[in-house]
Amino acid sequence: MNETDARAVYQKALKAHRFRERAALAAVHVGLVFYVLLSVYPLLRIFSVSLRPGDRIISTDLSLIPAGASFLSYMKVLHETNFLFWLWNSLIITCATSAIGVSLAAAAAYAFSRFRFPGHKTGLTLLLGNEMIPAAMLLLPLFLMIMKLGLINTYLGMIIAYSVTSLPFSIWILKGYYDTIPKSLEEAALVDGTTRFGAFIRIILPLSTPALAIAFLFNFTQAWNEYLVARVVLTDARMYTWTLGLFELQGQYLTQWGMFAAASILVTIPVLGVFLYSSKWLISGLTLGGVKG
């Protein structure tokens, strides 16, 4: 075989290889686009339903922007339902729980990160084991306690029920982060004149703002999206959180579908935004807290 032949063969093989590569890449894109559609489609459908004009809420139309699109459903959900109350209830309950949860976790995680006290390992294991307890199992006694305390249909009952649910996870995330802060920083602060707790407040906490933000966000989304506890503790429609309200809207009559869709879009957009914006940290926090310990 002479040289030009060899080169021709080589070129041909190269071409075939490139073709195969491109075909594979195209297949990858096709696969991804397909699953992206699958992921996004329900959200798009809700969006399209929310835009349907009043007389065509119920239809077998599949187009994304329906004929005669209007914001009527949005107006209706804001004016004719307690939607704004629901949002406000969710907000205030969520903020209070997150504040309590994060401050407890921030302190406890520091103890776990920096001290090897008797019970250290047991404590960490129990925190992990806590994930195993079915929520439904705790819910019944909690509900009875809240009822006995007369806190049904109050914010306080909700805050009590929510405040520690995300605590173990927050402690794990924060402990993982504290572990990465060099100990010499605190030692320098100790020598400079702080107490140990002072070093925690002045050095560790300011340096942990990213992790604190993750923990806060985690607490926040957990409480914000919660449904099962709220369903049991809140029975008055004015006290509903938005999750209860939404279920109500979707459940009863098909005619309320437009309002359900509009309300869904209104609550989803900000949550989605915050989640996607913070997903990078949230995910690294998840792997940090859950995997590396």
Residues 17-46, interacting with another protein (CB under 8 A): 25, 28-29, 31-32, 35-36, 38-43, 45-46
Instruction: Work out how close the CB of 4 gets to another protein at its nearest, in angstroms, rounded to a whole number.
Output: 33
Residue 152 engages another protein in binding (rule: CB under 8 A): no
| Tokens (6 digits) for 61 | 């139309």
Among 69, 87, 138, 152, binds another protein (CB under 8 A): 138
For the bound state, the minimum distance from the C-beta of residue 91 to another protein, rounded and expressed in Å, comes to: 10
Of the candidate residues 143, 152, 213, 281, the single one contacting another protein (CB under 8 A): 143
Alpha-carbon torsion, ordered 9, 10, 13, 18, to 10 deg: -140
CB of residue 58 vs another protein: minimum separation in angstroms?
6
Which contacts (CB < 8 Å, 24+ apart) does range 166-169 have? 166/101, 166/105, 166/215, 166/218, 166/219, 166/222, 166/223, 167/101, 167/104, 167/105, 167/108, 168/127, 168/128, 168/130, 168/131, 169/131, 169/218, 169/289
Cα dist. 256→49, 50, 81 in Å? 11, 10, 11
Among the candidate windows 4-12, 64-72, 75-83, 190-198, which touches another protein by CB under 8 A?
Answer: 190-198
Asked whether position 231 contacts another protein by CB under 8 A, the answer is: yes
Choice from 135, 210, 235, 237 touching another protein (CB under 8 A): 135
The Cα 195–Cα 14 span in angstroms is: 69
SS3 state at 103: helix
d(CA 226, CA 222): 6
Q: From the CB of 285, what's the least distance to another protein, in Å?
A: 12
Nearer CB in complex with another protein: 43/69: 43
Examine residue 1 and tell whether it contacts another protein (CB under 8 A): no
Number of residues that bind another protein (CB under 8 A): 120
Residue from the set 87, 142, 152, 213 that interacts with another protein by CB under 8 A:
142
Q: Does 187 bind another protein (CB under 8 A)?
A: yes
Interior/surface letters 216-251, b for 16+ CB within 10 angstroms, e for the rest: bbbbbbbbbebeebbebbbeeeebbbbbbbbebbbe
Residue 77 near residue 245, CB atoms below 8 Å: no
Q: Name residues contacting another protein, limited to 54-113 (CB under 8 A).
A: 58-60, 62, 88-89, 92-93, 96, 99-100, 104-105, 107-108, 110-112
Of 4-12, 67-75, 210-218, 247-255, the segment contacting another protein by CB under 8 A is: 247-255
